[in-house]
């Protein structure tokens, strides 16, 4: 999402860092370019102006100007001020002494609201809560069916009523759902509310009635990050009428320029609590301002990457894999399992962006290098091998490779390429156990 913003921002700061000593004119020129970069990324002009004013004031401090690496010090100031704009610290779901606690999710049609209800419910379930989802969006005909289908997919119950029955209305559905949640022993009730293509008094009145009926501890607005500055306007209006406790930015994996996330919390005063990073039910991340600022600056996000890996990693399997690597017994079966684990962690381009220094590298790779279909092709080739061939790839002669290529719908050249990559992986892993891995990885990348 932040490709253009990150590339331009790091380019300006890199040029600034190439100066041995900095003059005030150097800083003014660089910050003028950074302000243009922010405006091009659709950042609110007041936010961009205030941000640059604070950066300039701190950058002209005598300690920064006289430091051994003034360019690096200015980059550090930019990072810290970006973190401040994005919000101070992570703000999770509010705790409540009431059981069940209620979270009201609102948003315009097309913002990803119903999908976010399921993502949030799964997030709470993974934290040990017992959630109940509520289909209170009676305006969109398919909303109830969509939420019911998502509930079956993630094994979380959905409360719903017949929207066609006379007298059925959203406030009553929400009220009845809370009563039902008490009977089920649910700890959280996640209410999906009605949306419109645009805001109007009728929609706001209904949301106010639903809020009064459900008494939520969390009133979360789902906003589409791809709508740019319009997302800020929508959030301001919802906050004035409903009183928001948090924001969820959906479609952060899309092609938006990124300005909304840099503006919305600062302008509205409402914290961003979660961001949507994909269509899958587990595509919801807790929002950490310092991590997001690190991504924007091209510095990666190792903390989130480690959290994802821990969620997907089987500790016993990890120990077994470590033993195999140390004994040089890493085979294609293990290679396939590592590919599956990588796929569960999310799209490759997202993972690369979290590794420091890799975000710019990934954009210099060929267009198809990050294509998920390459992983599928690799899977097909390995699945076309016998168990003996996976465990002993050295027996793969020409006739076996042709048979594998035919069975996987690929070519012998594709099979050869995979086997060469596997051998490289084996060598790197062996060298890593002997402390020479970083040099090997660098040579592989070159």
Is residue 142 within 8 A of residue 230, CB to CB? The reply is: no
How many other CB atoms are there within 10 angstroms of residue 320's CB atom? 12
Mean per-residue pLDDT for 262-289? Answer: 86
Residue ranges covered by each domain of the chain = 3-86, 101-299, 305-445
* C-alpha to C-alpha distance for 11 and 372, rounded to whole angstroms: 29
pLDDT at 372 over 80: no
**pLDDT at position 225:** 80
Give the per-residue pLDDT at 182: 93
Residue 34 has pLDDT above 90, yes or no: no
Strands 246-250 and 218-224, sheet pairing: parallel
Q: What is the mean pLDDT of residues 20-26?
A: 75
Mean pLDDT of 199-222: 90
Average pLDDT value over all residues in the chain: 80
- Supply the pLDDT for residue 446: 44
What whole-number percentage of the chain has pLDDT above 70? 76
State the pLDDT at residue 444.
43
Asked if residues 429 and 413 have their Cβ atoms less than 8 Å apart, the reply is no
pLDDT tens digits for range 37-94: 888 888 888 888 998 999 888 888 766 666 656 667 778 888 888 888 888 777 778 8
pTM of the model: 0.68
Distance CA 309, CA 344 (A): 9
- In a 13 Å sphere around the CA of 379, the CA atoms on its Cβ side amount to 12
pLDDT digits (tens, 9 = 90+) for 269-280: 899 999 888 788
Q: Check pLDDT > 60 for residue 365.
A: no
Mean pLDDT of 296-321: 61
pLDDT-wise least confident of 39-43, 131-135, 211-215:
39-43
DSSP assignment, residue 101? E
The CA–CA distances, whole Å, from 223 to 42, 108, 420, 445 equal 15, 8, 45, 38
Residue 399 scores a pLDDT above 90: yes
Whether residue 134 has pLDDT greater than 90: yes
Tens of pLDDT, residues 100-122: 999 999 998 888 899 999 999 99
User: Ranked by mean pLDDT, which of 64-78, 147-161, 260-274, 418-432 comes out on top?
Assistant: 147-161
The pLDDT of residue 58: 85
Query: Mean pLDDT throughout 303-314?
Result: 58
d(CA 225, CA 261): 7
Q: What's the CATH code, domain 305-445?
A: 1.10.260.30
Q: In sequence order, what DSSP letters do the residues of 304-338 get, joined into one string?
A: HHHHHHHHH--HHHHHHHHHHHHTT---HHHHHHH
Peptide bond into 100 cis (omega under 30): yes
**What are the distances in angstroms from CA 107 to CA 137, 150, 207, 307, 342?**
11, 18, 10, 29, 32
Q: Is 231 exposed, middle or buried (0-12, 13-18, 19+ CB in 10 A)?
A: buried
Q: What is the DSSP letter of 68?
A: S
Measured over the CA atoms of residue 88, residue 92, residue 98 and residue 103, the dihedral's sign is positive
User: Does pLDDT of 199 surpass 50?
Assistant: yes
3-86: what fold?
1.20.120
Q: For 233-242, how does the pLDDT look when each residue is reduced to its tens digit (9 = 90+)?
A: 888 889 998 9
Give the model's confidence band at 437: pLDDT under 50 very low, under 70 low, under 90 confident, else very high.
very low
Instruction: Select the CATH number that applies to the domain covering 101-299 from these four: 3.50.50.60, 3.40.50.300, 3.40.50.450, 3.30.70.920.
Output: 3.40.50.300
Residue that is written with structure tokens 């004031």 in the block: 57
The yes-or-no answer to whether 3-86 and 101-299 have a common fold is no
Among candidates 298, 296, 300, 363, which has minimal Cα distance to 38?
Answer: 296
């Amino acid at each position: 999402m932040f490709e253009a913003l990150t590339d331009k921002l790091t380019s300006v700061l890199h040029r600034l860092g190439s100066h041995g000593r900095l003059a005030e004119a150097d800083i003014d020129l660089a910050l003028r370019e950074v302000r243009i970069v922010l405006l091009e990324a659709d950042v609110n002009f007041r936010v961009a102006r205030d941000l640059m004013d604070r950066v300039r004031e701190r950058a002209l401090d005598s300690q920064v100007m006289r430091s051994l690496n003034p360019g690096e010090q200015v980059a550090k100031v930019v990072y810290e001020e970006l973190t401040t704009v994005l919000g101070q610290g992570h703000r999770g779901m509010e705790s409540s002494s009431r059981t069940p606690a209620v979270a009201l999710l609102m948003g315009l049609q097309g913002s990803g609201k119903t999908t976010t209800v399921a993502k949030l419910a799964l997030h709470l379930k993974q934290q040990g809560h017992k959630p109940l989802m509520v289909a209170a969006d009676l305006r969109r005909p398919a909303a109830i069916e969509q939420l019911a289908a998502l509930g079956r997919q993630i094994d979380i119950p959905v409360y719903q009523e017949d929207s066609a029955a006379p007298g059925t209305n959203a406030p009553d559905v929400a009220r009845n759902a809370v009563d039902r949640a008490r009977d089920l022993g649910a700890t959280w009730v996640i209410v999906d509310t009605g949306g419109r293509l645009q805001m109007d008094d009728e929609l706001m009145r209904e949301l106010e009635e639903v809020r009064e009926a459900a008494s939520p501890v969390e009133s979360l607005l789902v906003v589409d990050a791809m709508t740019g500055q319009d997302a800020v306007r929508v959030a301001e209006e919802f906050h004035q009428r409903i009183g928001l406790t948090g924001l969820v930015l959906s479609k952060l994996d899309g092609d938006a320029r990124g300005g909304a996330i840099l503006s919305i919390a600062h302008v509205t005063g409402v914290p961003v609590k979660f961001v949507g990073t994909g269509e899958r039910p587990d595509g919801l991340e807790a929002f950490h301002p310092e991590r997001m600022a690190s991504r924007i600056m091209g510095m990666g996000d190792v903390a989130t990457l480690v959290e994802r890996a821990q969620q997907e990693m089987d500790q016993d399997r990890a120990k077994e894999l470590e033993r195999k690597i140390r004994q040089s017994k890493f085979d294609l079966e293990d290679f396939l399992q590592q590919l599956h684990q990588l796929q569960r962690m999310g799209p490759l381009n997202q993972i690369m962006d979290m590794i420091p220094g890799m975000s710019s590298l990934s954009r210099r790779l060929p267009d198809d290098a990050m294509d998920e279909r390459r992983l599928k092709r690799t899977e097909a080739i390995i699945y076309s091998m016998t168990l003996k061939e996976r465990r002993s790839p050295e027996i793969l002669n020409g006739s076996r490779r042709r048979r594998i290529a035919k069975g996987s719908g690929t070519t012998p050249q594709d099979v050869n390429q995979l086997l060469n990559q596997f051998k490289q992986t084996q060598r790197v892993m062996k060298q890593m156990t002997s402390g020479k891995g970083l040099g090997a990885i660098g040579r592989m990348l070159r």
